[in-house]
Amino acid sequence: MLIRQEPEGLYCEAGGFYIDPTRGVERALITHAHADHARRGSRHYLCAEPCRALLETRLGKKQSIETLAYGETCLINGVQVSFHPAGHVLGSSQIRVSHRDEVWVISGDYKLHPDPTCARFEPVACHHFVSECTFGSPIYQWPSPESQWSRLRQWWQRHQQMGVNSLVLGYSLGKAQRILHACHGMEGPILVHTSIHDCIPAYQAQGIHFPPYQILSTSTLRAHDGKALVIAPPSARVEHKLATPEHWEIMGVSGWLMTRTQRRKKGQCHGLIVSDHADWPGLLEAINASQAHTIHLMHGDSRMLEQVLGSEGRQVMRMERSTRKIETSSEGS
């Protein structure tokens, strides 16, 4: 097999490279800049061109990072490699690897729903498709993002009239920029956590523009108290630092909020169902579009997909990563 699972991650022996390795290796191909896919310690990195600035933000500027434009090919020890849009976050890629008539596509994380902050998922034909299955159950079917953003608008407006601040929680890379971009045309002050702000230049460099905002601080909060929309990552736990908890309403933005138990677990009654991963119909569509005879599933509970694809006569294999613990708390859901 051209690609196989090693303790360090997906490995292409013929090419001598890893894809999204879990620890430092000689040559790492990176699907996207989320922490569970892009790790420090490798000697050489290769990613899609729009991913570069984000990778530098995450790993540091001193790394050796080479890039390819989407669709551009290169040879690594005789193995042909190219990157194709995955629609997950800015710069996210499916990686196509081909050698001696065998073609693999490693999808990384992907989604099919439209997202103005990154290039749209592009199906790539292959023999072996390595697919994530974070939301591998028919209960996950996303509403249109537009319907969710208009809920955000109404929610924020209502709070402004009541003199209450609105806190929206989204991961600092990808989700938060998607939320901020959706605020185009909404009225009122937007305050953004600094970890979200740090990623903004990478977006602007790709021609993606955002409505005006200020960086979240005690003084900007004080200046806009009772009117502000604050965007922050859940990990920043800004809700615990708020001076007047009674003057806040909090909303999560995640695919997991589709189910009531998850909402309860997260302590949130409100939530926008917006995900950067494929929902059930998206997974099936992407897998079909790949035309692959063998589907390798990773990230998430693959049992239902295995059943459905198996009943269609497809070869289905489970690819285990050694980092499931990290994956469950990973970014970008």
Supply the DSSP symbol for 286: H
Up-side HSE of residue 246: CA atoms within 13 Å toward CB?
A: 0
Q: Which is nearer to Zn ion, 79 or 133 (CB)?
A: 133
Q: How far is the CB of 115 from Zn ion (least distance, A)?
A: 13
Q: How far is the CB of 254 from Zn ion (least distance, A)?
A: 13
**List of residues 6+ apart from 53 with CB closer than 8 A:** 201, 202, 205
**Residue of 21, 50, 145, 332 that binds Zn ion (CB under 5 A):** 332
What gap in Å lies between CA 42 and CA 183, rounded to an integer?
37
Q: How far is the CB of 258 from Zn ion (least distance, A)?
A: 18
Handedness of CA 256, 121, 297, 320 (dihedral sign): negative
Q: How far is the CB of 103 from Zn ion (least distance, A)?
A: 23
- The helices-and-strands tally (H runs, E runs) of the chain is 10, 19
- Bridge-based pairing of strands 93-99 and 102-106 is antiparallel
Residues 160-199 that bind Zn ion (CB under 5 A): none
The answer to whether 115 contacts Zn ion (rule: CB under 5 A) is: no
Stretch that binds Zn ion, among 105-113, 150-158, 198-206, 307-315 (CB under 5 A): 105-113
Complete DSSP assignment for 74-130: EEETTEEEEEEE-SSSTT-EEEEEEETTEEEEE--S---S--TTSPPP-----SEEE
Stretch that binds Zn ion, among 20-28, 232-240, 315-323, 324-332 (CB under 5 A): 324-332
Stretch that binds Zn ion, among 102-110, 196-204, 212-220, 313-321 (CB under 5 A): 102-110
Tokens, residue 325: 């613990």
Q: Which is nearer to Zn ion, 132 or 306 (CB)?
A: 132
Residues 279-318 that bind Zn ion (CB under 5 A): none
The DSSP element (H or E) to which 250 belongs, if any, is: strand 248-253
Q: Which is nearer to Zn ion, 109 or 115 (CB)?
A: 109
Q: Which is nearer to Zn ion, 36 or 279 (CB)?
A: 36
Cβ atoms within 10 A of the Cβ of 188, count? Answer: 15
The answer to whether 34 contacts Zn ion (rule: CB under 5 A) is: yes
Using CB under 5 A as the binding criterion, the count of chain residues that bind Zn ion stands at 5
**List of residues 6+ apart from 244 with CB closer than 8 A:** none
The answer to whether 109 contacts Zn ion (rule: CB under 5 A) is: yes
Stretch that binds Zn ion, among 32-40, 165-173, 207-215, 229-237 (CB under 5 A): 32-40
Tokens, residue 11: 């490995």
Tokens, residue 244: 């007047």
The answer to whether 9 contacts Zn ion (rule: CB under 5 A) is: no
Q: Which is nearer to Zn ion, 276 or 306 (CB)?
A: 276
Q: How far is the CB of 112 from Zn ion (least distance, A)?
A: 15
Q: Which is nearer to Zn ion, 8 or 225 (CB)?
A: 8
The answer to whether 91 contacts Zn ion (rule: CB under 5 A) is: no
Interface residues with Zn ion (CB under 5 A)?
Answer: 34, 36, 109, 330, 332
